[in-house]
A and B are shown apart, each in its own frame.
Chain A
Amino acid sequence: MACIEARGLRKTFGTTTALDGVDLQVEGGRILGLIGPNGAGKSTLLNAVLGLIPYEGDLKVLGQDPWRSRDHLARDVCFIADVAVLPRWMRVWQAIDYVAGVHPRFDRAKAEGFLARTKIKKTSKVRELSKGMVTQLHLALIMAIDAKLLVLDEPTLGLDLLYRKQFYDTLLNDYFDRSRTIIVTTHQVEEIQQILTDMMFINHGRIVLDCSMEDFEARYLELSARPEHVAQARALAPISERQVLGRSIMLFDRGDREKLAALGELRTPSIADLFVAVMSEKSSQGEAA
């Protein structure tokens, strides 16, 4: 059974179409990066998966309809919506007590173990903690829950680089195992490229690209073309070209690796560069149509 299955998922707010027929399938044990510009429908998609909003079309999370079975699914599905959502009046021990009191899969010892590695005092109020510490606290609470699906919507927004790196390292080292599924959205795509197993581009409420990282590495090539070979490289139909320090950088989809290697240096592109290429390609197609 797939962790998430959607077919023809649609959601409109008034006259705005947030999700325009999304089909997707996320298997268990994956770390999926959901990438898209602001207003692309990322949060709407995640909210639908979490059972926070009603929708049209078919959606199954762990085999259940998330809107109808939200109360039941909430035991197996966890999420961090934003760094600022822990109630500011709450004390650290109250947060632990409360989650322990309501969540059947919460392991208090684990949460306290995570907190012991931080500078967070149990008597502190959330409002007294720095933004980074609030995220550490939230992560400690969430990681102590034995959930099947964890959804992270911009979890590191507003954090400095150090905290961001710690966040993902902790998540990967202490939480993720092959039985859990994690979905993450972020604008700092480069920072999570190494931890993802799958990625998905979304724009205007549609899935634009959906592939595993193995496919991504096999399929896309970035060529830093030598000046004398630029014209030859262009003839091989790159999906994008940009100039960096006077050199042409071209992105190829399913390019011939041997041919390209003769024209310059090859490497795997960053997700961010592919994202820019795919998005501008789509928009230019849209203009042409």
Chain B
Amino acid sequence: MSIASQSTVSPEPAAAPQSATRPFAWSVRRELWEHRSVYIAPAVVAGLVLFGFLIRIIHLPQTMKLLATLKPVDQKLALGIPFAIAAAAVAATGVIVAFFYCLGALYNERRDRSILFWKSLPVSNTTVVLSKAAIPFAVLPSVLFVTIIATHLIMLLLGSAALAASGMNAALLWNSWPLFRMALVLIYGLVVMTLWYAPVYGWLLLVSSWARGMAILWAVLPPLGLCIAEKIAFETSYLGQLLDYRLNGLMHEAFYVNPHSREIGDPLAMLTPERLLTAPGLWIGLAVGAAFLAGAVWLRRNREPI
């Protein structure tokens, strides 16, 4: 800053201009500036899936001839599988991104001391922690939804083009993956997944606001160690079952797939929101998640930079 400034003697504003500020919205935007992987990683995986699909549809006409010999039920299943894989791959990417995002969210700012800059601004600790929690709880599910739907749409269009080029009826493809109904299933799936994993995300954010280093070890080893200690001490594995239920119980509570039928039928019939909403596991999980977030707010206020 040159000293020879044209010192414009601006009249001191009697009352400082109180522009409308939106700390929460800007803090979420700030997170996206810093963590572009939140939307890039799912897009990259979707790109890879599409690349694989592109190679696959070169053989699509032959595949379709093969499929013609199958029963309609199996045809539908065979055609739907790539779509299901695409959705699962992108969603799994989202979970991995959420895991690492949460672990770093409140840890990195303490490690590089930038927390002192953030704390010099009038943004409360609650706003900061909630804006960081908004990434796994709101932003990522939305990103995943848009990415998956776009991927499916492109797959349907590419597949249709390939079928049309070889003089086949593309309707079979659209029948095997009813886009609109599947979008409803996807919304349901993403919402329940987010709610179900709330305590996991909360735990990771708590660890990230507390750990002085090796956040990933602090996040994973204590629960694992407690399970082993319980097994050794009491020869029981209640904790292990609890963790297993949290990580893998979602499918059981939120969906119903008849194991004896290969008929897909109406995908919406697989959803069991009433069972999920009456599962104590959901509500206990949400309460625990909220408690972890409150702990993260407290720690951000009280903990020193590393």
Contacts and interface: CB of A to CB of B under 8 A. Distances in A.
Contacts of A118: 1
A78 B120 contact: yes
A89 B117 CA distance: 13
B3 A170 contact: yes
Interface in B11-39: 12-13, 16-23, 25-27, 29-30, 33-34
Given A87-B34, A173-B7, A99 B17 contact: no
B116 A85 contact: yes
A79 interface: yes
Interface stretch (B121-129, B139-147, B174-182, B253-261): B121-129
A139 B119 contact: no
Nearest to B19: A104
B278 interface: no
B169 interface: no
A103 B113 contact: no
A114 interface: yes
A90 interface: yes
A101 B25 contact: yes
A50 B17 CA distance: 23
Contacts of A97: 26
A6 interface: no
Contact of B16 (A50, A84, A105): A105
B12 A179 contact: yes
Interface string A165-179: 010011001100101
A171 to B, nearest CB: 9
Interface in A44-102: 50, 52-54, 71-72, 74-75, 78-82, 84-91, 94, 97-102
Interface string B94-123: 000000000000000100111111011111
Interface string B124-162: 100000000000000000000000000000000000000
Contacts of B116: 79, 81-82, 85
**Interface of B (DSSP majority class):** loop
Contacts of A166: 1-3
Contact of A85 (B18, B23, B113): B113
A281 to B, nearest CB: 33
A74 B301 CA distance: 14
B109 A173 contact: no
B298 to A, nearest CB: 12
Contact of A177 (B12, B16, B17, B25): B12
A90 B33 contact: yes
A87 B2 contact: no
B121 A103 contact: yes
Contacts of A273: none
B13, B33, B109: which has the most chain A beta carbons within 10 Å?
Answer: B33
Contacts of A89: 33-34
A88 B122 contact: no
Contacts of A88: 112, 114
B26 A101 contact: yes
B22 A117 contact: no
Contacts of B1: 114, 117-118, 136, 139-140, 166, 170, 174
Nearest to B3: A169
A53 B305 CA distance: 12
A287 to B, nearest CB: 33
Given A71-B122, A74-B120, A102 B114 contact: no
B5 interface: yes
A107 interface: yes
A102 B113 contact: no
B26 A98 contact: yes
A87 B117 contact: yes
Contacts of A173: 3, 5, 7
Nearest to B109: A87
A175 to B, nearest CB: 11
A52 B119 contact: yes
A85 B20 CA distance: 26
Nearest to B7: A173
Given A82-B113, A117-B1, A136-B1, A104 B16 contact: yes
A71 to B, nearest CB: 4
Contact of A102 (B115, B121, B302): B121
B58 to A, nearest CB: 41
Given A97-B26, A101-B25, 17 more contacts: A71-B124, A74-B120, A75-B122, A87-B34, A87-B117, A88-B114, A94-B33, A101-B23, A102-B22, A103-B21, A104-B21, A105-B18, A107-B17, A136-B1, A140-B1, A166-B2, A174-B7
28 contacts: A53-B304, A71-B122, A74-B119, A74-B120, A74-B122, A78-B120, A79-B116, A81-B113, A81-B120, A85-B112, A85-B113, A85-B117, A87-B34, A99-B121, A101-B21, A102-B21, A102-B26, A104-B18, A104-B20, A104-B21, A117-B5, A166-B1, A170-B1, A170-B3, A170-B5, A173-B5, A173-B7, A179-B12
Shortest beta-carbon contacts, A-B, top 3: A101-B26, A74-B122, A81-B116
Interface of B: 1-3, 5, 7, 12-13, 16-23, 25-27, 29-30, 33-34, 109, 112-117, 119-124, 302, 304
